[in-house]
Amino acid sequence: MSLTAGIVGLPNVGKSTLFNAITKKNILAANYPFATIDPNVGVVTVPDKRLEFLENLYHPERTIPTTFEFTDIAGLVKGASTGEGLGNKFLSHIREVDAICEVVRCFCDKNIIHVEGDVDPIRDIEIINVELMLADLEIIENRFNRIGKKATMTKDKETKFEVEVLTKIKENLEQNIPLRQVSFEEEELKLMKPFNLLTLKPIVYMANVSEEDLLADGNPYVDQVKEYAAKENAKVITVCAKMESELAELNEDDKINFLNDLGIKESGLDQLIHATYSLLGLATYFTAGSDECKAWTFRKGMKAPECAGIIHSDFERGFIRAEVMSYEDLEKYESEVKVKEAGRMRLEGKEYIMNDGDICHFRFNV
């Protein structure tokens, strides 16, 4: 299941530094080498202590973590929606991602020029948001122009419904309301899907601070971003791009020791990966054995056959049942045999809704 988050922001906010750190991040590199799909796309592994436990328990020939893609969108500027700074090209890149990570500059440095002249995170956020809303508005107005007359002259229910939805979208965008803040019914969302609207995508804000501010108690700029994000129920991650770049050069043990010395539990990039994973309603199940331990990404709410199909379409087509145990039970009893003896191994059918941490063996027949 290939999922992508796009990293956006104004020029000189630390976006490229963060992306460069992301492209160097590579847990279990020997088993799953870093891949560059495109110069601006990086594939990273999702950190998961559970996979490490399975590896130590089964001693497989290979261990494969689940992955996530980050796309570095070149810096947007005011007027991007009308083509400033090759804006239309970059906006088209954002349309292809599943979620948006917006990097916001929350540090002062006279040696790094701010494109707008001074540091003001809320102004920067609103510049990006306005450009995204204007780009969405253009798509909606173009669609209106194509079906508007037809809608007024026809009694076709589908066309009338589309006009109602388009009107709802247009009215909110004209009031500077991003579509992710608007409540839509399932049928409305289904109709909107082909438009790939930018402001409908879920968002997480990354407040880029100096190393000193990361270790300090607070930063007034970050407080402003958190207050703004709270209005749209968005998450804010405080990160120091410079430090993340340094961390990316270390091996896993040295990185952990470095963070521990600073009193930091988790790196900013690990927080970003987990936050984006959660933002998209994703979860992980595992397959485990002596040949391979592997983590698989699925969307919460998916049933067992759909999840089996992530491995191979034949698994879904010929699905019979799934042998399932929870990670918590395996950790508690320390072996499959003991999990079975405790009566905690289950046989689940086609209607079973998968849970995060399920360890599965799928039975199928094609």
Q: Please list the residues that pair with 284 across neighbouring strands.
A: 297
Contact between 361 and 307 under an 8 Å Cβ cutoff? The reply is no
pLDDT at 286: 98
Spatial distance between the Cα atoms of 45 and 27, rounded to a whole number of angstroms = 6
pLDDT at 69: 85
Looking at residue 6, what is its pLDDT? 87
Check residue 156 and give its pLDDT. Answer: 76
What is the rounded CA–CA span in Å between residue 274 and residue 67? 11
Close Cβ partners of 343 (under 8 Å, ≥ 6 residues apart)? none
Q: Quick one: pLDDT at residue 262?
A: 83
101: closest CA among 42, 147, 58, 51? 42
Query: What is the distance between the alpha carbons of residues 258 and 201, in angstroms, rounded to a whole number?
Result: 35
Sign of the dihedral defined by the CA atoms of residues 172, 87, 114, 240, in that order: positive
- What's the confidence (pLDDT) of residue 77? 56
235, containing H or E segment: strand 235-239
Q: Is 236 helix (H, G, I), strand (E, B) or coil?
A: strand
User: Residue 289: its pLDDT value, please?
Assistant: 94
State the Cα–Cα distance between residues 12 and 77, nearest whole angstrom. Answer: 11
Which residues, given as ranges, of the chain have pLDDT below 70?
1-2, 24-39, 74-91, 113-117, 148-154
Q: What tens digit of pLDDT does each residue of 322-345 get?
A: 999 999 999 999 999 999 999 999
Q: Report whether 55 contacts 61 (CB < 8 A).
A: no
Return the C-alpha torsion angle 161, 162, 164, 168, nearest 10. Answer: 140
Largest CA distance in the chain: 70
pLDDT tens-place string over residues 290-300: 999 999 999 99
Half-sphere exposure of 196 (CA within 13 A, CB side): 9
- Give the separation between CA 357 and CA 362, rounded to whole angstroms: 15
The pLDDT score that the predictor gives to residue 165 is 93
C-alpha to C-alpha distance for 237 and 265, rounded to whole angstroms: 13
